[in-house]
């Protein structure tokens, strides 16, 4: 069972895309304010609006750079866990997994994985099979059955 590739890329590049959109909106709101409508009225040129869009966009870029390497594709097997980060592939035994837990309020379901002797925390997603109620996420994919089984067996 392997992480969903589409959702992996979506989650990994979400902040980068948001940053680009916000910077473009900032530029457009300064030079072409008539393109934006607020409460049925055309927006006027406003430095505050331009700065807010610009600052939010610029803040997204360093956050993206800081977390982009945390997103990996994970292939779970009965004996091993394979962690793929770009071209790098790391094969570990289930006994080396220090912690594995679901991150709430993020959907599709996103898990964090910590490997013994490694200071990095990896984030990976499962399939798009989940129940979301009030922000809390419950994963219903096949991958979660193996995760629960291994966590129970190994006391993770």
Predicted local confidence at residue 83, as pLDDT? 93
Predicted local confidence at residue 10, as pLDDT? 92
Distance of alpha carbon 148 from alpha carbon 77, whole angstroms: 13
Locus of tokens 């002797």 = 117
128 pLDDT higher than 90: no
Predicted local confidence at residue 82, as pLDDT? 93
Containing 103, the helix (H) or strand (E) segment is strand 97-103
Mean pLDDT of 5-23: 94
Burial of 109 (0-12, 13-18, 19+ CB in 10 A): buried
At residue 140 the predicted structure's pLDDT band, cuts being 50, 70 and 90, is confident
Distance of alpha carbon 98 from alpha carbon 140, whole angstroms: 23
Please tell me whether the peptide bond between 108 and the residue prior to it is cis, using omega within 30 degrees of 0.
Answer: yes
113 pLDDT higher than 90: yes
How many of the other CB atoms lie within 10 Å of CB of 151?
15
124 pLDDT higher than 90: yes
Predicted TM-score of the model (pTM): 0.79
| 129-132 contacts, C-beta under 8 A, 24 or more apart | 132/107
């Amino acid at each position: 069972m392997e992480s969903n590739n589409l959702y992996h890329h979506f989650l990994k590049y979400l902040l980068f895309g948001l940053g680009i959109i916000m910077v473009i909106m900032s530029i457009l709101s300064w030079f072409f304010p008539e393109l934006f409508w607020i409460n049925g009225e055309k927006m006027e040129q406003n430095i505050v609006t331009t700065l807010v869009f610009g600052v939010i966009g610029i803040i997204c870029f360093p956050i993206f750079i800081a977390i982009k390497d945390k997103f990996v594709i994970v292939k779970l097997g009965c004996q091993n866990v394979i962690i793929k980060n770009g071209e790098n592939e790391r094969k570990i035994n289930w006994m080396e997994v220090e912690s594995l837990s679901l991150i709430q309020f993020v959907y599709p379901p996103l898990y964090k994985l910590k490997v013994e002797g490694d200071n990095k925390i990896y984030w990976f997603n499962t399939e798009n099979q989940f129940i979301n109620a009030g922000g809390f996420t419950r994963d219903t994919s096949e991958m979660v059955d193996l995760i629960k089984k291994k966590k129970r067996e190994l006391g993770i």
